[in-house]
Amino acid sequence: MHCYLIQLFRYNILEENKVVNRSNSSFFLKALGTVIICFLLSITTSAQSNRQDPEDFGTNIALLFIKTGETVVYQDPYFELLDLGDYLLIPVNRLASQLDLGVSYQRSEDKIVLTNNLTQKQAEIYLEDKIYRIDGQSLVSNQSPLFLARDFYVSIPFLEFFLEADINWDFRFQALTINVKEGLFKDRSTTMGPEKSAPGTSTESPPQKGPPFALSSIRYKFGLEHREEEECPETLDGFFKLRLDGYAGEWAVSAAGIADYDFYDHSLTPDLPLLRAKYHKDDELIIIGNAELDLEKTIGKKELWGVLYMTPDYQDQNKLIAYTDVSGVAATGDQVLLYVNDRLWQTAQPNPDGNYLFANVPLKVNRVNQIRVVIQTADGETSETTQAVAASPRIMKQAGNELLVASGLYKQKELDEWQGAMVGYRQKIALSENTTYNQETTIFVPYNQYPDQGYIGSDTGVAFRLNKNLICTLDWLIGGEVQTDVKTGFESSLLYCLEKGYFEGIISYLPATVTQGVDSRPGQGVTILSEHELTSDLTFNTKGYTTKSTPESHPWTLDGANLMLTKRFGKHSQNSLAGGVGKEWLTRKVQTGTLEADETSATIKYIRREKIVGTKAEAEFVDTAYLLNDNDPYRLQNLNTKSDLTVSIARNFLFGVAFDTENTWREKTYTALSLLGETDAKWSITDDTLLIGNVKLEGSKKTDSSFQIEQFKTGLYLHHFFTPHLNVFAEANRVSELPFYTQDENYLYTTARLGLTYHVPDRTGKFSGQLGYRSPVGSRMVPQWSSVFTYEKELSSAFLLELAFERHYDTLWDEDPEHVIRFSIGRALGFADGKIKPYRYSEEDDTTRIGGKVYLDINGNGQFDADDQPLDGIKILVDGRIAETNQDGEYIFSSLPPGIYRVYFHLPSLPANYTPVTEPQLIRLREQENFFVDFAVTVNGSISGKVFIDANANGRQDGNESPLPWIGVILDEGQQKVFTDSDGSFYFEGVALGAHTVTLDPQSLPTGLTITGYEVKTVFLTEEALDYPGLQFPLIAN
């Protein structure tokens, strides 16, 4: 490929109404000269155009950037342009796939019509005369338009004026940059669903089976730990950890035990943290031993040691999606298309019995969903059926049945001791297409707190779909202490669904005793909810309620209303701006009389996650007036804010800031402030060096006192990789803080750390060392010097040796260090086919982490769906660390400190056939927070075919039937548009996976010809079939 650096000239539009005062002779002489020059120029350009045979041209590959300002919105490394030596021509119909342009061919006048849908400019390009016109005015140019290989090429000066854009060609890098206005980009939202393959019989041999029972793996670790500290007894402990995994028939069995032995006290402490047998087959799940339980109506989420039975094995309690099945009858050879809310979701072919089925079709909850089934027959006839369905998570799909039974000991996940014993049950069953019954009951004894008391909670309900808009629910609730007081209550709702919103009314009567066993708020009253989608990205929510205590409870009333308006924006509606107001009135009987509270609140929330910026801000203002026995009101006002901002200032520089405040006014006097602020900067100085700066401020203001800084900390952290095997870090902090026991002193001290990590080149060993320093502070007059040295070595047969020496201080004021020596050996053994395979011992560390899934986005919607394909072996990059996805497409970064991060693909290792869909993600991690981000890629294919005159109307092109050039072919309702070549062929490249529609531009069809068969053809590209050739459009005479 040869390209030359050329200079491009802009040409001005001729101005028709310009009057210049000249003498007649001067005017006629210049006019005559102009005519002669234009005549000679026309001869030259005509001769030039006659010599330009399109068959002699070949396109060049260039790197295309389409920008708005300094932001690159789209790039294509394989963009084809035409280099004619003296100038370049650009395929304008290819740009129309990204820019909001209209492209059509008017055959009667042999011209191309372009429309800029942002500025409403209209351009006409006359093919035979090689003339450009914009809004009725001619553009003088010797860079003639050209039709070549189904693409329409135009000059850069013309394109700059028409698009109102700056276009730059960089010869050195073979890069074309087009800088346009932001509003000119096309909405790229995808409306297609994935293709479903027709059912069929498999000819593959059955999978091989192992022995009926086996021990799959053993993991064990043993070691010694010695601790010594002045004025404390010396200790020497030994420990042994054992983990066994295996199976017996269809049961997977796991057990883990720990034993600690004190050599000085001669005491043994055993523990059995894990004992589990698990059966998981044919949609059934049985666990005996350690399990996780979720009975949301009664006891909630708990860890269980006992017996758990579930069918199906996964029961999603998601409140955002409802599902249904769509089935029917069609003839063999028909094509069945399913549209959900006017979006093509799936296609299917009938089975040999003439039946089709779309399973687990997702519906919008609290909405009327339009389900349209289109059946296209082989002879071109089409029939449609449409059904409107109100959806709610309380209504199961027909024949749905969920069951969960559990019994055993329970506790919260973060606790060490079991809290009590329980037995629970939940069932949800679809009695018909429009009726669902649900029942959940739990009896539990919290013997740690109340050993003599047992509680029951039960919710029995039924949901009816009355018509296409109305859903009614009735729930009978039971709760209380089993031996002394059990009461009943009820809750009923009526939901009226619309296509763009809903209204819901809820009536409830729940004595406080019932809520001892059922997770709900006590009281009796009415709640009215509504939601309306004012536009596709603007939602309005309202809530009103009036409640009071039940007769047996202490008297109180609570009334209120809330309004919320939410605006969503961004490529995948990931950004939002919401604002709301609320009003609440409370009355309660107290010992001294009647307490009344009148509360007014206002909230605003803003979330933005883009390529170069990530931010979240929310503020809430609450104004409360308290009255006791109708005395003068006492006013309390609170303003709470939370905000964080992370900005990618450059490719190698991140800056972030976060502020949390709590402000209080009493009787309109500012009395209290709590402030937490943090600023971070992260700079990749080189590919091997990372510099991080941090400033943290924490302070408060109490009544009748000035603002006090409770902690002010500045820090600097430097991390450098000398080689892939050796890296070092250095950290220094200056801290000023108030001790917890007094406000009169101020601790000011310095901390520093210096460390290194070295990996043996063959990755069989690791050494790490760290030295720490903390300066004298308060009553401690000597510095604290700490150190940690660890050594890991993989020995033969996968034994892992770990040795650690530590010197540390437990608290800030300790003068005497504690010395620790720890030694351990661990190993894991795997068993299969009578062979033993040793591997490295491991234990999962549940700390702050970033994780997610990498997947092939089959339907191109930027979200992981059930039919998308997880990808293994894809590398994700965070601050120089790389994680590789497993066979489930999952990656994870563990042991991450709080701070700001950029998460994205490791592009150098991304396979060439994958194109990222998800942009880089900017994240702020807080203490004890996990963040999960999915990343999508796609692969691009092609669609090609022919347009011809079908003289004998047999639906295929015979040898004597003429192809049709200059027919406009439209992909996905205008996402791409090309024109047929001289042989009637067309070709779309760079087409993503999923469903696509192809049709012809009716304005480009010759008079008297029409399409036979389907006017709109649906094509599905899959990873196995990326290219779809041979799509034919036969035309016949009217």
**pLDDT, tens digit, 9 for 90 and up, residues 339-387:** 998 888 888 888 888 899 998 888 889 999 999 999 988 777 889 999 9
Beta strand pairing call for 941-949 and 1027-1037: parallel
What pLDDT was estimated at residue 144?
80
The better pLDDT of the pair 304, 129 is held by 304
| In a shared domain, residues 905 and 971 | no
The yes-or-no verdict on residue 724 having pLDDT over 50 is yes
Residues paired with residue 583 on neighbouring β-strands, in sequence order:
561, 600
- From residue 601, alpha-carbon distances to 302, 406, 531, 1004 in Å are 35, 43, 20, 60
- pLDDT bracket for residue 1024 (50, 70, 90): confident
Highest mean pLDDT among 239-253, 367-381, 510-524, 930-944: 510-524
What pLDDT was estimated at residue 610?
80
Q: Output the 3-class SS for 446-461.
A: CCCCCCCCCEEEEEEE
The yes-or-no verdict on residue 188 having pLDDT over 80 is no
Q: Answer whether 914's CB lies under 8 Å from 907's CB.
A: no
CATH code (residue 109): 3.30.457.10
Asked if the structure places residue 360 within a domain, the reply is: yes
Q: pLDDT tens digits for 66-117? A: 888 877 788 776 678 887 766 788 888 888 778 888 877 776 667 788 888 8
Asked if the structure places residue 604 within a domain, the reply is: no
What pLDDT was estimated at residue 623?
95
What pLDDT was estimated at residue 196?
30
Asked if the structure places residue 1013 within a domain, the reply is: yes
In percent, the amount of the chain with pLDDT more than 70 equals 87
Three-class secondary structure of residue 106 per DSSP: strand
What pLDDT was estimated at residue 240?
96
The yes-or-no verdict on residue 633 having pLDDT over 50 is yes
- pLDDT bracket for residue 928 (50, 70, 90): very low
Average pLDDT of the segment spanning 718-746: 86
| In a shared domain, residues 128 and 97 | yes
| In a shared domain, residues 384 and 327 | yes
Nearest of 49, 244, 21, 221 to residue 130 by alpha carbon: 49
Q: Which of 596-600, 698-702, 828-832, 918-922 has the lowest mean pLDDT?
A: 828-832
What pLDDT was estimated at residue 847?
42
**Sign for the pseudo-dihedral over CA of 1005, 1009, 1014, 1015:** positive
Q: pLDDT tens digits for 118-147? A: 888 888 887 766 778 888 776 666 678 887
Average pLDDT of the segment spanning 470-474: 96
Q: pLDDT tens digits for 567-579? A: 998 876 778 999 9
Nearest of 601, 604, 595 to residue 623 by alpha carbon: 601
Average pLDDT of the segment spanning 853-881: 84
CB within 8 Å of 928: residues ≥ 6 apart = 848
Q: Answer whether 580's CB lies under 8 Å from 603's CB.
A: yes
- pLDDT bracket for residue 5 (50, 70, 90): very low
Asked if the structure places residue 275 within a domain, the reply is: no
The yes-or-no verdict on residue 453 having pLDDT over 90 is no
The better pLDDT of the pair 67, 496 is held by 496
| In a shared domain, residues 887 and 1018 | no
Q: Which of 4-8, 203-207, 219-223, 611-615 has the lowest mean pLDDT?
A: 4-8
What pLDDT was estimated at residue 638?
95
What pLDDT was estimated at residue 842?
72
- pLDDT bracket for residue 998 (50, 70, 90): very high
Average pLDDT of the segment spanning 289-302: 91
Asked if the structure places residue 787 within a domain, the reply is: no
Domain-terminating residue out of 936, 953, 982: 936
The better pLDDT of the pair 601, 132 is held by 601
Domain count, the chain: 4
CATH code (residue 363): 2.60.40.10
Average pLDDT of the segment spanning 219-242: 92
- pLDDT bracket for residue 4 (50, 70, 90): very low
Domain-terminating residue out of 152, 184, 216: 184
Asked if the structure places residue 860 within a domain, the reply is: yes
Q: How far is the C-alpha of 285 from the C-alpha of 309, rounded, in Å?
A: 6
Q: Output the 3-class SS for 960-976.
A: CCCECCCCEEEEHHHCE
| In a shared domain, residues 913 and 891 | yes
Three-class secondary structure of residue 798 per DSSP: helix
CB atoms within 10 A of CB 652: 14
| In a shared domain, residues 952 and 869 | no
Range of the domain at 68: 24-184
| In a shared domain, residues 928 and 996 | no
The better pLDDT of the pair 135, 315 is held by 135
Domain-terminating residue out of 891, 916, 936: 936
Amino acid in position 725: H
What pLDDT was estimated at residue 532?
95
What pLDDT was estimated at residue 531?
96
- pLDDT bracket for residue 514 (50, 70, 90): very high
Asked if the structure places residue 995 within a domain, the reply is: yes
- pLDDT bracket for residue 780 (50, 70, 90): confident
| In a shared domain, residues 947 and 926 | no
The better pLDDT of the pair 428, 630 is held by 428
| In a shared domain, residues 899 and 1033 | no
Q: How far is the C-alpha of 480 from the C-alpha of 457, rounded, in Å?
A: 7
- pLDDT bracket for residue 740 (50, 70, 90): low
Q: pLDDT tens digits for 965-978? A: 888 899 988 878 88
Three-class secondary structure of residue 95 per DSSP: helix
What pLDDT was estimated at residue 262?
93
| In a shared domain, residues 85 and 135 | yes
- pLDDT bracket for residue 15 (50, 70, 90): very low
What pLDDT was estimated at residue 26?
44
| Mean pLDDT taken over the chain | 83
Element holding 110 (H helix, E strand): none
Average pLDDT of the segment spanning 529-554: 94
The C-alpha angle 238, 239, 244, rounded to 5 degrees, equals 155
The yes-or-no verdict on residue 40 having pLDDT over 60 is no
Q: Which of 134-148, 497-511, 643-657 has the lowest mean pLDDT?
A: 134-148
Beta strand pairing call for 850-856 and 931-932: parallel
pTM above 0.85, yes or no: no
The yes-or-no verdict on residue 406 having pLDDT over 60 is yes
| In a shared domain, residues 172 and 99 | yes
Asked if the structure places residue 863 within a domain, the reply is: yes
What pLDDT was estimated at residue 86?
65
What pLDDT was estimated at residue 744?
67
| In a shared domain, residues 37 and 111 | yes
The yes-or-no verdict on residue 604 having pLDDT over 70 is yes
